[in-house]
Amino acid sequence: MTYPQVELENVSVRFGEHEALTDVSLSLRARRTAVIGSNGSGKSTFARLLNGLTLPTAGRVRVHGLDPARQARELRRRVGFIFSNPDAQIVMPTPVEDVAFSLRGSGLVRAEVQRRTTDALARYGLSAHAEKPAHSLSGGQKQLLALCAVLIREPLLVVADEPTAFLDAANARRIRDLLLEDMPQPLVLVTHDLAMAARCDEVIRFEEGRVVEQGEPDAVIAGYERALA
Amino acid sequence: MIALYRNGTSPLHRMPAGVKMLALMLFALALGVGMNGLWSLAAASAAVVLCYLLAGFGLGELGRQLVAVRWLVLVMVVMQSLFLTATEATVNTGRVVLVVVLAALVTLTTRTGDMLDAVERLLAPLRRFGVNPAKVGLLLSLTITTIPVVAGFATGIRDAQRARGVPPRPTRLAVPLLVASLRHADDLADSLAARGVE
Residues of A in contact with B191 (CB under 8 A): 81, 83, 88-89, 91
| Region class of A35: left (phi > 0), else alpha (psi between -120 and 50), else beta | beta
Residue B110 near residue B5, CB atoms below 8 Å: yes
What is the reported pLDDT for A36?
A: 96
Residues B70, B40 within the same domain: yes
Which residue in the set B111, B190, B196 is minimally distant from A73, CB to CB? Answer: B196
Closest CA of chain A from B101, distance in Å: 20
Q: What CATH number corresponds to the domain at position A192?
A: 3.40.50.300
CB spacing of B145 vs A135 below 8 angstroms: yes
- Select the more confidently predicted residue: B167 or A152: A152
Quick one: average pLDDT of A187-216?
95
Residues B22, B79 within the same domain: yes
Which residue in the set B1, B184, B187 is minimally distant from A133, CB to CB? Answer: B1
d(CA B27, CA A192): 57
- Most confident option among A3-12, A53-62, B37-46, B127-136: A53-62
Kindly report the CA angle at A157 between A151 and A158, in degrees rounded to 5?
55
> Which residue in A79, A81, A84, A92 has the most chain B C-beta atoms within 10 A of its own C-beta, making it the best mutation to test that interface?
A92
Please tell me if residue B184 touches chain A, with a CB cutoff of 8 Å. yes
What is the reported pLDDT for B37?
A: 81
Please tell me if residue B142 touches chain A, with a CB cutoff of 8 Å. yes
For B110, the closest chain A residue by CA position comes to: A131
Whether the complex's predicted ipTM surpasses the cut of 0.85: no
Asked if pLDDT for residue A2 goes beyond 80, the answer is no
Question: φ and ψ at A9, to 5 degrees?
Answer: -125, 115
CA distances from A15 to A206, B59, B123, B194 (A): 18, 59, 40, 20
> pLDDT tens, B40-68?
889 999 999 999 999 998 888 899 889 88
Note whether residue A136 is domain-resident.
Answer: no
Residues of A in contact with B194 (CB under 8 A): 51, 53, 76, 80-81, 83
Rg (CA), chain B: 21
CB spacing of B194 vs A83 below 8 angstroms: yes
> Which residue in A45, A71, A78, A89 has the most chain B C-beta atoms within 10 A of its own C-beta, making it the best mutation to test that interface?
A89
Note whether residue B115 is domain-resident.
Answer: no
Quick one: average pLDDT of A208-226?
95
| Domain with A24 in it | 6-89+155-228
- Global pTM value: 0.78
Residues B95, B49 within the same domain: yes
Asked if pLDDT for residue A161 goes beyond 70, the answer is yes
Residues B98, B164 within the same domain: no
Residues B89, B135 within the same domain: no
Domain count, chain B: 2
Residues B100, B187 within the same domain: no
> pLDDT tens, A58-84?
999 999 999 999 998 889 989 999 998
Among B81, B110, B139, the domain-final residue is: B110
Residues B63, B106 within the same domain: yes
Note whether residue B40 is domain-resident.
Answer: yes
Asked if pLDDT for residue B1 goes beyond 50, the answer is no
Question: φ and ψ at A20, to 5 degrees?
Answer: -80, -35
- A72 alpha carbon, distance to own chain's centre: 16
What is the reported pLDDT for A155?
A: 92
Which residue in the set A52, A88, A94 is minimally distant from B188, CB to CB? Answer: A88
Quick one: average pLDDT of A197-215?
95
Among B110, B143, B161, the domain-final residue is: B110
Note whether residue B82 is domain-resident.
Answer: yes
Quick one: average pLDDT of B168-178?
85
Please tell me if residue B1 touches chain A, with a CB cutoff of 8 Å. yes
Among B49, B75, B110, the domain-final residue is: B110
Closest CA of chain A from B93, distance in Å: 31
Which residue in the set A73, A91, A135 is minimally distant from B188, CB to CB? Answer: A91
Q: How confident is the model at residue A1 (pLDDT cuts 50, 70, 90)?
A: low
DSSP alpha helices (H): ranges in chain A?
43-49, 72-78, 95-101, 110-123, 139-151, 169-177, 194-198, 217-228
> pLDDT tens, B77-125?
888 888 888 888 888 899 999 999 999 999 889 887 788 888 888 888 9
Q: How confident is the model at residue B3 (pLDDT cuts 50, 70, 90)?
A: very low
| Domain with B19 in it | 11-110
Dihedral angle over CA of B12, B13, B15, B17, nearest 10: 110
Rg (CA), chain A: 18
Which residue in the set A87, A89, A93 is minimally distant from B112, CB to CB? Answer: A93
Going by C-alpha positions, the residue among B37, B36, B63 that lies closest to residue B48 is: B63
CB spacing of B149 vs A94 below 8 angstroms: no
> pLDDT tens, A5-49?
899 999 999 998 899 999 999 999 899 999 999 999 999 999 999
CB spacing of A91 vs B141 below 8 angstroms: yes
Burial letters A138-175, b for 16+ CB under 10 A, else e: ebbbbbbbbbbbbbbbebebbbbbbbbbbbeeebbebb
Which residue in the set B141, B190, B192 is minimally distant from A93, CB to CB? Answer: B141
CB spacing of A80 vs B194 below 8 angstroms: yes
Closest CA of chain A from B117, distance in Å: 11
What is the reported pLDDT for A136?
A: 85
Q: List, edge to edge, every strand of the sheet that includes A58-63.
A: A18-27, A6-15, A58-63
Closest CA of chain B from A227, distance in Å: 32
Residues B34, B96 within the same domain: yes
Closest CA of chain B from A10, distance in Å: 24
Please tell me if residue B147 touches chain A, with a CB cutoff of 8 Å. no
Residues B17, B102 within the same domain: yes
Residue B13 near residue B113, CB atoms below 8 Å: no
- Give the range among A21-30, A180-189, B49-58, B167-176 with minimum mean pLDDT: B167-176
Please tell me if residue B172 touches chain A, with a CB cutoff of 8 Å. no
> Which residue in A87, A143, A145, A166 has the most chain B C-beta atoms within 10 A of its own C-beta, making it the best mutation to test that interface?
A87
Going by C-alpha positions, the residue among B17, B36, B192, B47 that lies closest to residue B119 is: B17
Asked if pLDDT for residue A216 goes beyond 90, the answer is yes
d(CA B62, CA A72): 49
Burial letters A76-88, b for 16+ CB under 10 A, else e: bbbbbbbbbbbbb
Q: Which DSSP state fits A42?
A: S
Residues B18, B106 within the same domain: yes
